[in-house]
Amino acid sequence: MVIKLPELGALYVDSCRRHGVPSSGGFLSSLFQAELKKSKHEVCVLELLLDHVKDSDFHPLFEVSLKISESEIEAVDVLCESSCALTGEHALSLIRSIGEKLRQVDLQDLAFGKDLLRDLSQGGLQCQVLNLRSSHFRKLNLVGEFMWLHTLNLDYSTTLTSFREDCFSHMPNLMCLSMCETRISNLWTTIAALSKLQALVELRFQNWLCCNDAGSSGSSGGDDQTVPSQPSSAFYSDTSSLNSDLDLSNFMSNERMMNLLRFSLNNYARRRNEESSDDSEVDFSIDLDDGYIDPSTNATLGWNREINLLREVSSAILSNQNGEESFDGAFTRQEGDVSVKYISEHASPICFEKHYRDYMIASIPQLRVLDNLPIRSIDREMANLTFFKHFEYLPYRRNDKESVVSILQKREIRARHTSLRTPKQRPLDPAGKSQYFYTRSLCAAKMGSSPWPSLHSLSISDSDSGNENRSFRPRQFEYHPSNSSLMVFGTLDGEVVVVNHENEKIVSHIPSLGVMNSVLGLCWLKKYPSKLIAGSDNGSLRLYDIQHWPPTLKRTHTGAGSVTFDEFDQLTSVHVNSTDELFLASGYSKNVALYDINSGRRLQVFTDMHQEHINVVKFSNHSPSIFATSSFDQDVKLWDLRQKPIRPCYTASSSKGNVMVCFSPDDQYLLVSAVDNEVRQLLAADGTIHQNFEIPSTGSSQNYTRSYYMNGKDYIISGSCDEHVVRVCCAQTGRRLRDISLEGKTSGSSMFVQSLRGDPFRPFNMSILAAYTRPSSKSEIVKVNLLASTDFSKDFSPGQSSSVSNSMGGPKKKKKKKTVYTGPLVFKLETCSRNATQLFSEEFVEQGSVKFQYSSILMEPAMAQPRSPYCSGKCNGRCQKAAVWDRCIKYCGICCEECKCVPSGTYGNKHQCPCYRDKLNKKGKPKCP
């Protein structure tokens, strides 16, 4: 039997009496308003206002809300416009008790705290519209069930910087998403998260508003355009109108209850009028009843009343005359005799990324409206062209995602056929002639499945010496040229520390001993892999042999294992030539010094090589006499020691001061980085510009940019000291592949890139020396793996690691260490030619990415460790006990995510996996083993 609204009001008043609390005039007035809508044959919507609701009011409201599903109320809107004394736990329980009739939840300017946000994101809601404006999310993680949600508003959530991988996985019906004035900035991770929203048709990171002289099509406040955030509040201003349209005697027959209700309404209205009589920004006089959307309609819910007008305006609204959006907050387009001007309002940082609109349109094909502006077919065509001109979808120009197993199968089949074919036969795959073809294909496949790069803060402690509170402050670092596990870093205190960055153990620790200050120059010797040159900013230069230095200094320092060179004042850079005979030093001067490593003497000082100080000097990788210098006089010069460097071989100029220069691994190119993201690649032979990477500038003259090569000379990585982003670009085409964003330990903390290096042994791996803007914060080395599974980085932000110590060794509260798969990918291969196996090993094993085992089965995946990157802990536990414990990853690797079950891993328990139980193979037989 359907509960009538008068009966619902009586139940509420009776519940208040039983709990000994006064009835809420706000709730009773909401019931009146719902009855009024019902009498006018409108949608019977109950607006449940949480303003001024206390914990003592919870139980009566909770009891009534449980009856709403049985009442004649068609929909419920839960609104919170101002302060609320209700605890987050009670508020969420009250909202969820409404059930399927919950339509809109408006918790803008949330006052319930982070606990409610956490419980809300994990438990989900059944509402259709969710307004979480000004919320305190840092990384959006809405992993609960939001199956009915079609509109989500996160505007003005100024702490929101990024998304968790699965934050939109359980929103199959989400059509409209607004994130104006958030701190979202990364195009790649944003698109990876939004790609889960198959129904998304309207997206907003800013408001484009028409500002013609004839009149504006939008209001000054972008948030005022959002229907979900606009509750109907007109009935607060005057309760007499309710009496004229609704006979109270028909609503409640009990005269005593009528008097109680009138008394509550009058007191509530008087209290609201008194509170709104000051300078409050809340206005209760605006009638927004016509702004509600009928839940039965299939039309797209939009935020903007000017959308229809915008659709009538032709292509003037989308781009300026150069075909790109203007970044000064406005653009104008001439359309016939009409000039239409639009301004941007409440833009998030992502809107200022170059080609932002084109990237979004090309990446979300079903999108129809972006930032209030409709997307036309011509805009989509232009966006696709711009995307393929300036961005790489996958590395090495791969356009389609593939699985690692399929690539390895193709590779092995081709290797078998190649070994059997006659010399006159053409290869099966001409593109596979290169020995690197399948390496690159594997990289593309792994990166395609890992939109969130793995970031790990290198955690080094000095616990071996018994001083766990000891912490290092890195200032410069270098990978070892021949040992893939070693790295050296110099500190601000003059220490030189050699670490195994794989197991995070100290190999050698060389103290400053009061001699060196900040270590700015480090360079390994190639022929003598245990030796390195270290230089500090006070001019001290030394050659160290790390074999003579233990991990900790438990003995008195004797000076053994080091050679001291003549000082070079204000040193900034050192570099050793290819034969380990000479090294160069430069600094805050116009001079460069040449040293003989064998004799320990300074051979010569080349004076006045530039007009301003020389920041970096680099020898070529193969010629022992060729070197390059980069100076803040805007010039890069190439020199030859055989010509007694009086005149450079050539000079190449930048528009700003040069910060970095380095040779490509084959010495074919010079990579030059000038202030504020001016990065260019020159031909080393004559200094001709080969590639200009067109990285957007910030306008800061202090934005010092550093760039290095990665994957040999295939890609470059670039970062600047005023930005928290490292950009990865193709060295041959200049197209952007990916941006890596660094985030601080806490909300509001800013990081910047102090230095970076590409890993010479692992494709698409690098390390970043990241520092905080606060002087008291410690810098840290962050290892980045673009090919790692997304699971590795879910809980990472720099400054957090699984180690007991902090980022560089300080004390940290011990936490439960997560078990993650960090081992190599293992495949069992059928016997094949030794040449084919050796080629596999050269391409993959040496890079630490794949190991191989021989078996009679051609391609049977086997987990190298009990922990698989595809399965949960329960899944692995069951698979380990099974007779054929690799079946789970081979046949049921997806079912963990599809039905959240624990796959059997054996032949007898297949019905435990409902998603695979019903799947059939091509022969019509059950797919699950």
Write the pLDDT tens digit of every residue in 729-761.
999 999 999 999 988 766 556 789 999 999 999
Q: Which two tokens stand for residue 837?
A: 């196996």
- The 3-state secondary structure of 361-429 reads HHHCCCCCEECCEECCHHHHHHHHHHHHHHECCCHHHCCCCCCHHHHHHHHHHHHHHHHHCCCCCCCCC
Looking at residue 407, its pLDDT comes to: 86
DSSP class of residue 779?
P
| Structure tokens that stand for 221 in this block | 């406040």
- b/e sequence 539-566, b meaning 16+ C-beta within 10 Å: bbbbbbbbeebebbeeeeeeeebbbebe
Token pair belonging to 161: 């910087």
Higher pLDDT, residue 270 or 834: 270
796 residue type, one letter: F
Q: For residue 597, what pLDDT is reported?
A: 96
Of the candidates 220, 110, 112, the one whose C-alpha atom is nearest the C-alpha of residue 158 is: 110
Burial of 919 (0-12, 13-18, 19+ CB in 10 A): middle
Neighbours of 215 (CB within 10 A): 7
Q: Band of the pLDDT at 212, cuts 50, 70, 90? A: low
Question: Structural domain boundaries of the chain?
Answer: 1-101, 128-208+343-392, 459-551+559-708, 871-918
For the chain, helix, strand, coil in percent to 5 are 25, 25, 50
Residues 278-292: tens digit of each pLDDT: 333 323 222 323 333
Residue-wise pLDDT for 1-21, tens only, equals: 788 888 888 999 999 999 898
Q: What is the model's pLDDT at position 302?
A: 45
pLDDT band for position 245 (cuts 50, 70, 90): very low
Q: Which two tokens stand for residue 420?
A: 């059997």
Of 168-177, 184-193, 716-725, 826-835, the range with the lowest mean pLDDT is 826-835
Q: What is the pLDDT of residues 141-158, one digit of tens each?
A: 888 999 999 999 999 998
Between residues 270 and 649, which one has the greater pLDDT?
649
pLDDT at 66 over 70: yes
SS3 674: strand
pLDDT of residue 612: 95
pLDDT tens for 707-733 read 999 999 999 999 999 999 999 999 999
Name the residue with higher pLDDT: 322 or 355. 355
Q: What percent of the chain has pLDDT over 90?
A: 43
pLDDT at 689 exceeding the cut of 80: yes
The Cα 494–Cα 513 span in angstroms is 8
Q: C-alpha dihedral over 405, 407, 412, 413, to 10 degrees? A: 110
Sheet with strand 369-370: strands edge to edge: 45-49, 75-79, 102-106, 129-131, 151-153, 176-178, 202-204, 369-370, 373-374
pLDDT for 927 equals 63
Could you tell me whether strands 202-204 and 505-510 are parallel, antiparallel, or unpaired per DSSP bridges? unpaired
Residue in 457, 462, 459, 567 with CA at minimum distance from that of residue 511: 462
Cα gap 505→521, rounded to integer Å: 22
For 851, left (φ over 0), alpha (ψ -120 to 50), or beta?
Answer: beta
Lowest mean pLDDT, pick from 179-193, 388-402, 516-530, 869-883: 869-883
CA distance 648 to 607: 13
**Calpha distance 28→248 (Å, rounded):** 12
Task: In whole angstroms, give the CA distance from residue 44 to residue 223.
Answer: 26
CA atoms within 13 A on the CB side of 251: 25
Q: How confident is residue 381, by pLDDT bands cut at 50, 70 and 90?
A: very high
pLDDT given for residue 652 in this prediction: 97
pLDDT at 745: 65
Q: Which CATH architecture has domain 459-551+559-708?
A: 7 Propeller (2.130)
714, 396 contact by CB (below 8 A): yes
Segments of 492-642 assigned E as strands: 496-500, 505-510, 519-524, 531-536, 541-545, 562-565, 571-576, 582-587, 592-596, 602-606, 614-619, 626-631, 635-640
pLDDT digits (tens, 9 = 90+) for 605-664: 999 999 999 999 999 999 999 999 999 999 999 999 998 888 999 999 999 999 999 999
Kindly give the interhelix angle for 5-19 and 25-39, rounded to the nearest 10 degrees: 170
pLDDT the model gives residue 731: 96
Q: What is the 3-state secondary structure (H, E, C) of 329-359?
A: CEEEEEECCEEEEEEEECCCHHHHCCCHHHH
Whole-angstrom Cα distance, residue 475 to residue 489?
A: 7
Same fold, 128-208+343-392 and 459-551+559-708: no
How big is the chain by its Cα radius of gyration, in Å?
33
Residue 764 zone, left/alpha/beta (φ > 0; ψ -120 to 50; rest) = left
Q: Which two tokens stand for residue 384?
A: 């696709």
Say if CB 668 and CB 713 are below 8 A apart. yes
Full-model pTM: 0.73
Kindly give the interhelix angle for 88-96 and 114-123, rounded to the nearest 10 degrees. Answer: 30
Q: How confident is the model at residue 444 (pLDDT cuts 50, 70, 90)?
A: very high
Decide: helix, strand or coil at residue 560.
coil
Instruction: Kindly report the CATH class assigned to 128-208+343-392.
Output: alpha beta
Distance CA 477, CA 533 (A): 12
Percent of the chain with pLDDT over 70: 65
Average confidence score pLDDT of the chain = 75
Q: Look up residue 926 and give its DSSP letter.
A: B
- pLDDT value at position 898? 52
Higher pLDDT pick, 427 / 246: 427
By the 10 Å C-beta count (0-12 exposed, 13-18 middle, 19+ buried), 169 is classed as middle
Q: Is the pLDDT of residue 910 over 70?
A: no
pLDDT band at 549 (very low <50, low <70, confident <90, very high): confident
pLDDT of residue 595: 97
Closest residue by Cα to residue 82 from 272, 222, 353 = 272
pLDDT at 388 over 80: yes
Whether pLDDT at 24 is above 60? yes
Mean pLDDT of 169-190: 94
Q: By the 8 A CB rule, do 573 and 539 touch?
A: no
Which residues does 166 contact at the CB level (< 8 Å), separation at least 6? 141, 143, 196
**pLDDT per residue over 786-835, tens digit each?**
998 654 344 444 444 333 233 333 334 444 444 443 344 444 333 333 33
Residue pair 711/764 in contact by the 8 Å Cβ criterion? yes
Q: What is the mean pLDDT of residues 537-557?
A: 79
pLDDT tens for each residue of 298-330 = 333 444 433 333 333 333 333 333 344 444 566
Angle, vertex CA 80, rays to CA 74 and CA 85, nearest 5: 125
Could you give the CA distance from residue 746 to residue 290 in angstroms, rounded to a whole number?
Answer: 42
Quote the CA–CA distance of 429 and 314 in Å, as a whole number.
48
Tokens representing 274 are 């008194």
| H/E segment holding residue 273 | helix 255-275
Q: Mean pLDDT throughout 508-531?
A: 88
**Tell me: the pLDDT tens digits for 834-844?**
333 333 333 33
